[in-house]
Amino acid sequence: MNKQAGLSLIQVVIALVVLGLVSALAMPQFASASDEARQSALNEVAGALSSASAINYANRKAHGDRGIRVADCADIAATLPGGLPEARYQITAAAISPDSTVTNCVVSSKGKQAMFTATGVL
C-alpha cells in the first residue's frame, strides 16, 4: 500500500466553509469601523474649519486687509489653506452677524455631520 500525503477533498471543503463563516462574521465589524473612521475624519475637518475661522477673525481684526469677510458659515471654507474639497464636503449655509460667534455651523459628507464654530467679520 502506498501512503499518500496531503489533504482530502473533505478537509479542503471544511476549511473553505470555516473561512467563509469567519469572514461573514467579521464583515459587519469592518463596516462599522469604516463608518467610525468617516465620522472621525469629518470631526477633524470641523475642527480645522473652527480653527481657520478663529485665525481669520484675528487677522481681519488686526489687519483689515488680511483674511476674508465672513457673513455665512459657508464662507469659512475659503479660510482653509487650499480650501475645502467641495466634492467631498458640504457646508450648510447659515448667516453670521459681524463680531458674533455661532456654534451651529454644519459640515457634512456621505450622510455624516459635524458641527463647527464660526465668527462673522467684515
Q: What is the pLDDT of residue 6?
A: 74
**Domain for residue 2, yes or no?**
no
Q: Residue 42 is inside which H or E element, if any? A: helix 9-62
Measured in whole angstroms, the distance separating CA 23 from the mean position of its chain's CA atoms is 27
- Please count the structural domains in the chain: 1
When the pLDDT of each residue in the chain is averaged and rounded to a whole number, the result is 86
pLDDT in tens, 29-40: 666 678 888 899
User: 66 in a domain, yes or no?
Assistant: yes
- Say what the pTM is: 0.72
Instruction: Report the C-alpha gap between 59 and 67 in whole angstroms.
Output: 6
Q: pLDDT category, 118, cuts 50, 70, 90?
A: very high
3, part of any domain: no
Q: How many Cβ atoms are within 10 Å of 91's Cβ, its own excluded?
A: 22
Torsion over CA of 44, 50, 54 and 55, rounded to 10 degrees? 40
Q: Which residue range forms the structural domain that includes residue 113?
A: 9-119
The C-alpha angle with vertex 35 and arms to 33 and 36, in degrees rounded to 5, equals 65
Q: Is residue 4 part of a domain?
A: no
- Which tens digit of pLDDT belongs to each residue from 43-89? 999 999 999 999 999 999 988 888 889 999 999 999 888 888 778 89
